[in-house]
Amino acid sequence: MLNCIGVITSGGDSPGMNAAARAVVRTALFEGIEVWGIQNGYRGILDDEMFKMERKDVSDIIQRGGTFLGTARCRRFMTPEGRAEAAAKLKEKGIEGLCVIGGDGSLRGASLLSAEQHIPIVGIPGTIDNDVWGSDYTIGCDTAANTIIDAINKLRDTASAHRRVVVVEVMGRKCGWLALTAGISGGAEYILVPEEEFDLDQISSEISEAYKKGKRYILVVVAEGAGSAVEIGKTIHEKTEIDTRVTVLGHIQRGGTPTIIDRVKASQLGEKAALALISGLTDLVFGFHKGSVVSINLHDAVTNKKILDKELFRLAKVLA
Ligand code: F6P
């Protein structure tokens, strides 16, 4: 049983991280446990940016995007020396275990901290990419997908008016979940993801044929890891001579007020993670599988690669 825990958000922020941190803090306080907030990711441990939290410190944040704790990607923490220093800083404050909210890189750092310094760790997957192995869901993916669909709806109006090809680039360096989900729900004709090969020659000739038959517009959703939408748009235009426009959505996808799904799921994960950590469990990631909260071994979560749902990809092709 631990008496004092810390909560940290790390890596790219995602909408719903605040709800998760709030749940960790309030669960700990409900259990009579001391809880510290760590600011600006792992760098905040090294730079002593940690403060003891009270209930009111997490008031008025559940509806906000970003993370009230701040986040960072910290190079110093990537070294064993940095992690040893971090462990010493945590001990100085009396923090006995950490609840880490972040994506695969942040969870990898957490796993190393646990293995090398024997600090109890539980993880909560927080990233818009939805690419953490073992969980069907990561905090923020629902809000980001909804942000993308809002943009796609608007782009369809203008694409249809002008009979244009529209190429939209969404986030996802290694994982095409956002592109696939937004592409299916946005009725995209083509969804290009890093996990699947595609042939731009063939796509271009299909687009030309579709236009000849009277198609008013074509929507292509590209995950950033599949290639540059600007280059893809240029190639399609050169090959088809159809007016083509490119939109790179960028960081707009990471912001905004979290959806109900992200708030509720983040709250559930925050509570379960805090309770596990307090009870002395370690090296677990709390996620969702088939609608229920599950715990995943931390090492497994960071060493396995999540596979994009092939069935969903097949469906996208059938419906295009
Ligand atoms: O991992 C989350 C993510 O938003 C990715 O989709 C994207 O590739 C990356 O972070 C962008 O990182 P940064 O904010 O450092 O540019």
Residue of the CA atom closest to atom 1 of ligand 1: 12
**Which pLDDT value is given to residue 155?**
97
CA 95 to chain centre: 27
Residue of the CA atom closest to atom 14 of ligand 1: 12
**Which pLDDT value is given to residue 269?**
98
Tell how far the Cα of 90 is from the centroid of ligand 1, in angstroms.
28
Helix axes 177-185, 141-162, angle to 10 degrees: 50
Residues annotated as part of the active site:
129
E-state strands within 182-268 = 190-192, 218-223, 244-248
Low-confidence stretches of the chain (pLDDT beneath 50): none
User: Thinking of the domain 4-140+258-303, which architecture would CATH place it in?
Assistant: 3-Layer(aba) Sandwich (3.40)
Tell how far the Cα of 173 is from the centroid of ligand 1, in angstroms.
8
Q: Is 134 in the pocket of ligand 1 (CB under 6 A)?
A: no
Q: Is 175 in the pocket of ligand 1 (CB under 6 A)?
A: no
The reply to whether 4-140+258-303 and 142-255 are identical in fold is yes
Tokens, residue 243: 């007016």
CA distances from 102 to 69, 82, 110, 193 (A): 12, 19, 10, 23
Q: Is 127 in the pocket of ligand 1 (CB under 6 A)?
A: yes
Buried b (16+ CB within 10 A) or exposed e, 141-171: bbbbbbbbbebbeebbeebeeeebbbbbbbb
Domain residue ranges in the chain: 4-140+258-303, 142-255
Residue of the CA atom closest to atom 2 of ligand 1: 12
**Which pLDDT value is given to residue 278?**
98
**Which pLDDT value is given to residue 286?**
98
> By the 8 A CB rule, do 220 and 165 touch?
yes
Q: Is 179 in the pocket of ligand 1 (CB under 6 A)?
A: no
DSSP assignment string, 155-196: HHHHHHHHT-EEEEEES-SS--HHHHHHHHHTT-SEEE-TTS
- Ramachandran class of 137: left when φ > 0, alpha when ψ lies in -120 to 50, beta otherwise: beta
Q: What is the dihedral of CA 144, 146, 151, 154, to 10 degrees?
A: 180
CATH topology of domain 142-255: Rossmann fold (3.40.50)
Coil, helix or strand for 6?
strand
